[in-house]
Amino acid sequence: MSDEKPATSSAEIEALHSPARPQHFTTVSGHPIRQLYTAADLVNWEAQRDLGRPGEPPYTRGIHPTMYRGRLWTMRQFAGFGTAEDTNARFRYLLEQGQTGLSVAFDLPTLMGYDSDHPLSQGEVGKCGVAISSLADMEVLFDRIPLAEVTTSMTINSPAAIVWAMYLAVAEKQSADWKLLSGTLQNDILKEYIAQKEYIYPPEPSLRLVIDTFEFGTRHTPRFNPISISGYHIREAGSTAIQELAFTLRDGIEYVERGIRRGLAVDDFAPRLSFFFNAHNDFFEEIAKYRAARRIWQREMRERFGAKNPRSWALRFHAQTAGCSLTAQQPYNNVVRTAIQALAAVMGGTQSLHTNSLDEAWALPTEFAATLALRTQQIIAYESGVTNTADPLGGSYFVEALTNEADHGAREYIRKIDALGGMVAAIERSYPQREIAEASYRYQQAVDRKEKIIVGVNEYVSEGKPLEVLQIDESVALRQQERLRRLRAERSGEEVRRRLDRLMRAAEGAENLMPHLYDAVKAYATLGEICDALRTVFGAYEEVAIT
């Protein structure tokens, strides 16, 4: 007998080096994917109605006729850490590197409405964003940055109206015309109850503050978006793509209903509504999601609300690559993930984009990592060729079928929420929270069973070298505490108390609170003091446990 082993077949070699493929090919949302798509998959599809041309309803192919041939998306890298001085330096560096818009990340105390010297802020000051406790901090944050010339996005929700008042006060100090200010305030409180949980007040007074910004912005800042209705955090909490789409658009519907209830004409404020979506891993599903979002929104604005202005129909959105997809294992793989996700956002027609940094599963981005993330956008913009034509995948049997599935799936969720009495009622019943929790659980089960492969995590695992990460030590908190001590010593405490008293009296009534918030921040009342004054009137929200 020969001692030679039988030759190994090519199939056996492949099996040794490749993980087992799942028996059923599905999108992230769980829809089965067929091996081939043909015209038969679009047999009930009315091309003229559902596709159309870029810049024309239903905007499936984009909201601008020329898309990126006319103007590239805004490259808006999310940044913020440490003190206002630290983040100001990072802003100016990124602008020098070719970034075309600012995007502010705030630390957890700021997001929750606490000053940097509050006991609950201990250990968190400057850690996940910049620490902003007063107008004095905001003045430093935008030092030597002309607000009338640079668009600014601010990712903050419960205290959004207060932080926006600080921003407007800085603009006034720069002698900038408010009518020229351009940017976006996230200000999306509904998604906080659904997903991110950075709420302060109960839903009704929180929604009042949101609509106050709509009303104030319509009168005073016509180029500034008072809200960015966010699906990003819904997706980061574990939702499917269709859940992200549906819950985000239904949140938008809720805000429009509240604006109309306030007495605002829909075409006066709807053109300044903007959206914020996740760019996740399933390339074609993400593109379909964005295309379906535009189609659904124009339908809702025209049919549900009777909007007449085409700018009210056109859904504008910012995209950010998926933070939850980044891995601490083999972090340089995150560069590839981010590039694919960013390309999906661009091919889906985003108006602005943030690309995550490779080290964000470890810490806040280093300057090197943030620059590489920005370069990823620039390479897509200037080297890939995907900007040469609008909606380059339009007409693809596969993409159009996925777009239709996303459209139909999202509308089914919207109908269910309508039947529950709207999004606030649905939140109070924990409906979207439960749907997201179940989707997240199913996804993790698929990862654990290796039905979904995460390279470097559940397959192709290897040891990697540790990264050099950005360190934020407690000296940031000490500097912030000293700044607050000086501020309180130098300002007029009596004037602060008077303005906070006026704010509380106004909160007890029904008038718009933005002028009172502006007066308070101009007197250097702190963020925590203003939030505490409103807590006294509105109370604090406690979530009901999901059962």
Q: Which residues contact 18 (CB under 8 A, 6 or more apart)?
A: none
- What is the per-residue pLDDT across 232-288, written as a single tens digit (0 to 9) for each? 999 999 999 999 999 999 999 999 999 999 999 999 999 999 999 999 999 999 999
On whether residue 222 sits in a domain, the answer given is yes
On whether residue 503 sits in a domain, the answer given is no
Position 4 scores a pLDDT of: 44
Asked whether the predicted pLDDT for residue 342 surpasses 80, the reply is yes
What band does 500 get if pLDDT is binned at 50, 70 and 90?
A: very high
CA distance 204 to 108: 23
279 pairs with which residues across the strands?
321
Position 52 scores a pLDDT of: 85
Asked whether the predicted pLDDT for residue 98 surpasses 70, the reply is yes
- What is the number of other CB atoms lying within 10 angstroms of the CB of residue 228? 25
Omega before 58 cis (within 30°)?
yes
- What is the per-residue pLDDT across 348-375, written as a single tens digit (0 to 9) for each? 999 999 999 999 999 999 999 999 999 9
Classified as helix, coil or strand, 154 is: strand
DSSP annotation of 484 reads H
- H-run or E-run covering 93: helix 84-96
What band does 471 get if pLDDT is binned at 50, 70 and 90?
A: confident
- What is the per-residue pLDDT across 101-118, written as a single tens digit (0 to 9) for each? 999 999 999 999 999 999
Asked whether the predicted pLDDT for residue 347 surpasses 80, the reply is yes
Q: Which residues contact 522 (CB under 8 A, 6 or more apart)?
A: 135, 169
The counts of H helices and E strands in the chain are 22, 10
Position 8 scores a pLDDT of: 44
Position 5 scores a pLDDT of: 44
List the one residue out of 194, 247, 190, 233 whose CA is nearest residue 409. 247
On whether residue 263 sits in a domain, the answer given is yes
Percent of the chain with pLDDT over 90: 87
What CATH number corresponds to the domain at position 195?
3.20.20.240
Cβ atoms of 512 and 212 closer than 8 Å: yes
Overall number of domains in the chain: 1
- What is the per-residue pLDDT across 289-338, written as a single tens digit (0 to 9) for each? 999 999 999 999 999 999 999 999 999 999 999 999 999 999 999 999 99
**Rounded mean pLDDT of 540-544?**
91
User: Greatest CA span in the chain, whole angstroms?
Assistant: 102
Position 45 scores a pLDDT of: 61
| Least confident interval from 18-32, 123-137, 145-159 | 18-32
What band does 3 get if pLDDT is binned at 50, 70 and 90?
A: very low
Q: Dihedral sign for Cα 140, 143, 147, 152, please.
A: negative
CA distance 203 to 143: 35
459 pairs with which residues across the strands?
455
Position 48 scores a pLDDT of: 44
What mean pLDDT, rounded, does the chain reach? 93
Cβ atoms of 110 and 133 closer than 8 Å: yes
What band does 6 get if pLDDT is binned at 50, 70 and 90?
A: very low
514-522 helix and 493-508 helix, angle to the nearest 10 degrees = 170
- Domain assignment of residue 127, given as a range: 72-384+391-448
**Rounded mean pLDDT of 391-410?**
95
What band does 13 get if pLDDT is binned at 50, 70 and 90?
A: very low
| Least confident interval from 74-78, 176-180, 219-223 | 74-78
CA distance 158 to 237: 18
Asked whether the predicted pLDDT for residue 547 surpasses 60, the reply is yes
- What is the number of other CB atoms lying within 10 angstroms of the CB of residue 11? 8
On whether residue 453 sits in a domain, the answer given is no
On whether residue 282 sits in a domain, the answer given is yes
- What is the per-residue pLDDT across 40-92, written as a single tens digit (0 to 9) for each? 888 776 544 568 899 999 999 999 999 999 999 999 988 999 999 999 999 99
Position 348 scores a pLDDT of: 98
On whether residue 177 sits in a domain, the answer given is yes
On whether residue 495 sits in a domain, the answer given is no
On whether residue 199 sits in a domain, the answer given is yes
CA distance 56 to 53: 6
DSSP annotation of 388 reads S
Q: Which residues contact 1 (CB under 8 A, 6 or more apart)?
A: none
Cβ atoms of 82 and 472 closer than 8 Å: yes
Burial class of 43 by CB neighbour count within 10 A (0 to 12, 13 to 18, 19+)? exposed
What band does 28 get if pLDDT is binned at 50, 70 and 90?
A: low
**Rounded mean pLDDT of 477-486?**
96
Position 49 scores a pLDDT of: 58
Position 46 scores a pLDDT of: 56
